């Protein structure tokens, strides 16, 4: 149990377009979902934390107007990269914390974004 | 501010040899420490957490508050242990990750 999916697994887009990435908890309800960014051969950096029905909490240095997060239900959070530019190219990973799970985060497989 | 340091980027050991991955943390509060593992082409998954004090896949880790360390150890490495290992510090609802250590176990 405790599976998290992400869609799409990879996406290529043109500079200036917006890209939406979905994160779903498939077999459990998630109180909180997290969005991370990972550059090649580097660690995961937390971008934002989202709770169902409320505004996301962004980490310092992350532009909230650039990275829009919507947490519509206990099983779905979306990250929209608006007006994407080549420097936004990265690996985006989400995780979900189970409603009754003792703070353990379950990670999605990640989404590779390439902006041309 | 919290910080996690994994000093070794790469670690190569022979099968059957002991392996130790170092992790040091900096945090003024009461820490919660984790080790996550990422096998090739797979997602990140929890290996163990300090509060459970259990051994997973032969790995153990002891929290040493005096040295602010949470080193991961296994007495006899196996080829299937080759992976990327991340130490993480939990503070409230957040996880802060170290840079990761790539472990290669050679036959």
Q: What is the pLDDT of residues A7-41, one digit of tens each?
A: 999 999 999 999 999 999 999 888 899 999 998 87
pLDDT tens column, A40-73: 878 899 999 998 888 899 999 999 999 999 988 8
pLDDT digits (tens, 9 = 90+) for B22-74: 999 999 888 899 999 999 989 999 999 888 878 889 999 989 999 999 999 99
Tens-digit pLDDT profile for residues B74-85: 999 999 999 999
* Structure confidence by residue, pLDDT tens digits, B5-20: 999 999 999 999 999 9
- Are B10 and B21 within 8 A, CB to CB? no
**How many residues does this entry show for chain A?**
116
* Nearest residue of B to residue A98, measured between CA atoms: B93
Give the residue-averaged pLDDT of A85-96: 95
Please report the number of interchain residue pairs, chain A to chain B, with beta-carbon separation below 8 angstroms: 39
Name the nearest CA neighbour of A106 among A90, A95, A91.
A95
Give the residue carrying structure tokens 């240095």. Answer: A61
Whether residue A44 and residue B93 make contact (CB cut-off 8 A), yes or no, is no
pLDDT beyond 80 at A101: no
Average pLDDT score over residue span A78-107: 89
Q: Which residue in the block uniquely carries the two structure tokens 């993480």? A: B88
Answer yes or no: are the C-beta atoms of B37 and B85 closer than 8 Å. yes
Token pair for A111? 């989404």
Band (pLDDT 50/70/90 cuts) for residue B94 is confident
Tell me if B94 and A49 make a contact (CB, 8 A cut-off): yes
Residue B85 falls in which region: left (phi positive, over 0), alpha (psi -120 to 50) or beta: beta
Q: How far apart are CA B103 and CA A39, in angstroms?
A: 19
Tell me how far apart the alpha carbons of residues A21 and A11 are, in angstroms, rounded to a whole number. Answer: 9
CA separation for the pair B65, B25 (Å, rounded): 9
| pLDDT at A77 > cutoff 70 | yes
Distance CA B39, CA B43 (A): 7
pLDDT at A7: 97
pLDDT band (50, 70, 90) for residue A111: very high
> Are the beta carbons of A6 and A21 closer than 8 angstroms?
yes
Of all residues in chain B, the one with the smallest CA distance to A39 is B99
Judging contacts by C-beta atoms under 8 Å, the chain B residues touching residue A42 are 99-100
Predicted pLDDT of residue B59: 95
pLDDT the model gives residue A25? 93
Q: Using an 8 Å CB-CB cutoff, list chain B residues near A108.
A: 43
pLDDT attached to residue A100: 65
- On whether any CB of chain B is under 8 Å from the CB of A30, the answer is no
Q: Which residue of A has its CA nearest to B47?
A: A104
Q: Which residues of B65-80 are buried (b: 16+ CB within 10 A; e: fewer)?
A: eeebbbbbebeebeee
pLDDT at B101 over 70: yes
Q: What is the 3-state secondary structure (H, E, C) of B34-90?
A: EEEEECCCCCCEEEEECCCCCCECCEEECCECCCCECCEEECCCCHHHCEEEEEEEE
Decide: A55 and A63 in contact? Cβ < 8 Å.
no
């Amino acid at each position: 149990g405790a599976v998290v999916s992400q869609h799409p697994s990879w996406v290529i887009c043109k500079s200036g377009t917006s890209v939406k990435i979905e994160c779903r908890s498939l077999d459990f309800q998630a109180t909180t979902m997290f969005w991370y960014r990972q550059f090649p051969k580097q660690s995961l950096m937390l971008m934002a934390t989202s709770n169902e029905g409320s505004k996301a909490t962004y980490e310092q240095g992350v532009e909230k107007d650039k990275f829009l997060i919507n947490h519509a239900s206990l099983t779905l959070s979306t990250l929209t990269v608006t007006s994407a530019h080549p420097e936004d190219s990265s690996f985006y990973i989400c995780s979900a914390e189970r409603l009754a799970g003792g703070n353990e985060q379950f990670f999605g497989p990640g989404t590779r974004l390439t902006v041309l | 501010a919290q910080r996690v340091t994994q000093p070794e980027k790469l670690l190569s050991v022979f099968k059957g040899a002991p392996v130790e991955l170092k992790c040091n943390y900096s945090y003024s509060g009461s820490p919660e420490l984790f080790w996550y593992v990422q096998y090739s082409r797979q997602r990140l998954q929890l290996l163990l957490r300090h509060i459970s004090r259990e051994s997973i896949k032969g790995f153990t880790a002891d929290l040493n508050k005096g040295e602010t360390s949470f080193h991961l150890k296994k007495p006899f490495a196996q080829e299937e242990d080759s992976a990327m290992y991340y130490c993480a510090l939990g503070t409230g609802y957040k996880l802060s990750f170290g840079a990761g250590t790539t472990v290669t176990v050679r036959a």
